[in-house]
Amino acid sequence: MHLDDFEELAYGAPETVWLTVWLEFIAGRLQVKPPADGNHSCILSWLTRRFLIERPDRGLYAYRGLKTEHAEAGRYLPDAALAPRRTFAGHGEWSPSDGVLMTVEIAAAAPGKDLRNLRAKRDGYAAAGIPIHVLIGRESETVAVYAEPVHGTYRCRATHSYGATVKLPDPIGITLDTEKLKDYAG
C-alpha cells in the first residue's frame, strides 16, 4: 500500500470505524490499533497526571498522529507523545515528529499481542529522531526506557519492574515511581 492511499483510507473511514479502531501505517503496512481497555486508560491517565505535575510546560498528547520512520514514511498513533505545549497547534491529523520529546506505548495485556508492531514502532520512533521512547509492558509488568536514537535504533535501553523508581533521561528529566502500575497489571 502506498502512503497516499493509506492517508485517503484513514481520512475517509466512517466515523463509526474511528470509534472502535484506529488505523496506522507501520513499515509500509496498514495496521489496526485496537481501542484501549480500562487498565490501559488508567495507565495513560496516571502518566498524564504525573506530567501535569512535573512538567506543566509540556503536554502529554494521547493518540496524536505522528509522521515517523525514515523520511516520514510511517503514520503512527502512539498512546502518548510528550512535546512542548502548542507543538501541534495548527496541524492536521498527522504531525511531523519535530519537537516530540518522548513517545509512550502501553502494550496489550494479552501474551504476544502487538509485539511485532511495538518493535517496528520503536524503531520508527528512533528513525524519526524522537529522543525517548517508553514501553509499558502490561504482560511482563515492566517499563522499558529507550534513549539516544542513532540510525533508526535506540542505543540505550533500561528495563524496570513495576514498582521501581524510573529516571527518564534528558530531555525529559523526571523520575516516575511506578508502584501505581501494579494496580493496572494484566
Cα separation, 89 vs 85, in Å, equals 9
Q: Strand ranges (DSSP E) for the chain?
A: 22-26, 29-33, 58-62, 66-68, 74-76, 80-84, 95-96, 102-106, 132-137, 142-150, 153-161, 165-168, 174-177
Q: What percent of the chain has pLDDT over 70?
A: 90
Instruction: Give, as one character, the DSSP assignment of residue 36.
Output: P
**Residues 95-133: tens digit of each pLDDT:** 999 999 999 999 987 755 566 689 999 999 999 999 999
Residue 183, Cβ density class (10 Å: 0-12 exposed, 13-18 middle, ≥19 buried): exposed
**Residues 145-163: tens digit of each pLDDT:** 999 999 999 999 999 999 9
> Quick one: which H or E segment has residue 54?
helix 38-54
Q: Could you tell me the pTM of the whole model?
A: 0.88
pLDDT of residue 8: 79
Range 36-184 has CATH code 3.90.1570.10: yes
